[in-house]
Amino acid sequence: MTDLLELPIATLAQKVRRGEVSAAEVAEATIAAILRDDDRLGAYLTRSFDELRARAIQLDLRRAQGEQLGPLAGVPIGVKDAFATKGVATTCASRILVGPGGRPWIPPYDAAAVTRLLAADAMIAGKCNMDEFAMGSSTENSAFFPARNPWDDSRTPGGSSGGSAVSVAAGMTPGALGSDTGGSVRQPAAFTGVVGVKPTYGRVSRYGLVAFASSLDVVSPFARDVRSAALLTEAIAGHDPRDSTSADRPVGTYVAACERPLAGLRVGVPSQYFAAGIDPDVEASVRGALDQLASRGATLVPVSLPHTEHAVAVYYVLAAAEASSNLSRFDGVRFGARVASGGLDELYERTRGQGFGAEVKRRVVLGAYVLSHGYYDAYYLQAQRVRTLIARDFDAAFVDVDVIAAPTTPTPAFKLGDKIDDPLTMYLSDVYTLPASLAGLPAMSVPVAPTPATDARPSLPVGLQLIAPAFDEEALFRAGAAVERIVSG
């Protein structure tokens, strides 16, 4: 029955709607797949098997009573543990959200994206592993255990949404929900050989997503193919008055955009994304895919994004500043962990000292520093100015092209432990994903030809990143589906 989970999402949902397979059968296949692989790969922090079975029974009963089920009927979805899920633990992979007696925080409500998945009749398989509070690029910053790459379990699946990527790549679920702040969906998608989509900032409600950097966080789906990712994006997108940054704009027909022809598409190729430091095999794979796009009717146009080189510095100033503010709510007073102490200051100090991991502490301290008196103008305001310049680079490029194409990451997946003690090297893993995040643009990682196997490493996935103008997800899915057709055919 695990073959059910290899079907495209629309096909699986159609089978459930028609009664060709029951939601209960899909649920059992999902449970079997998780039990088969998750102890080795560490994709899940919470397995919601009881809830999954109950949901499947409910869906099957509704169908038996003649009700037409939704577009995600019976589709199991893994959910990053940064999303509130009613009645199911949410920890953000942090000990600070695990209270006395090891009891995790149980939200009394669902995040908006989870609500929309359920409204489309999806099923939630569990809560996926992640870097603590989404701060990291390897899932090694999880307070509990790292996730592992299904292609080679000695390697990282990327982060921070690494568990969600593993759930899809290993065939535990056909789709998953993550969040992308600086590349946290696109980078693990590239490392594990799946599709990861970051919609335009504001396209999907952030209500119920535990905030890391509020001007950058974007709710983002994973799937094994572009059309499935388009279907998930359609399901979760749309205005939500509970999120003040949610855009009140109509949602496009993303699945239909996947069928649009490639001919006439203008694809920008930025030289800055093929600079020193890129792995030769990654560059060869991406350039090979671009050449095939050109041979099938696309026009490749050289473009320049000159402020790309500043993206890492800008991101780690702004994201850390916002994190230091957002994480101040975790104080040991209202919920989560609380370390006994003699006074309020000591309560804060001991609770946060024991509850937060090293990377979270590093970013909170950095953020407090750049926001402090005497440094605010020099660092935070200057970073905001350069962020504007990065966005203007994209605006200028999109005058001449429909989408921009580049590598998603400079290297394939690296080994667990290789970069965890070198924060700067780890931060550079996101060098190609950060600019689109800073500009608030929609972007996608699509698998292209993997690296060749050598004595030094096995064959590993490579992702091609596509970036489109703001709120033009149709262009993104049109281009992504074209890449997928070329690679698969």
Q: Which residues are catalytic?
A: 80, 160, 184
Q: Measured between alpha carbons, how far is 111 from 313 in angstroms, rounded to an integer?
A: 31
Contacts of 196 (CB under 8 A, 6+ apart): 161, 165, 178, 180, 185, 186, 187, 188, 189, 190, 220, 221, 222, 229, 444, 445, 463
Identify residue 420 by its one-letter amino acid code.
I
Strand order in the sheet with 175-180: 44-47, 123-128, 76-80, 175-180, 218-223, 195-198, 443-448, 462-467, 403-407, 266-270, 299-303
Contacts of 95 (CB under 8 A, 6+ apart): 143, 337, 354, 355, 356, 357
Closest by CA to 127, choosing from 80, 87, 163, 166, is 80
**What token pair was written down for 223?**
């799937």
Tally of CA atoms within 13 A in the half-sphere of 134 that contains its CB: 33
**What token pair was written down for 289?**
């895919």
The SS3 assignment for 457 reads coil
Instruction: Tell me: cis bond preceding 160? Omega within 30 of 0 counts.
Output: yes
Q: Measured between alpha carbons, how far is 347 from 65 in angstroms, rounded to an integer?
A: 55
Q: Measured between alpha carbons, how far is 432 from 464 in angstroms, rounded to an integer?
A: 11
Tally of CA atoms within 13 A in the half-sphere of 398 that contains its CB: 21
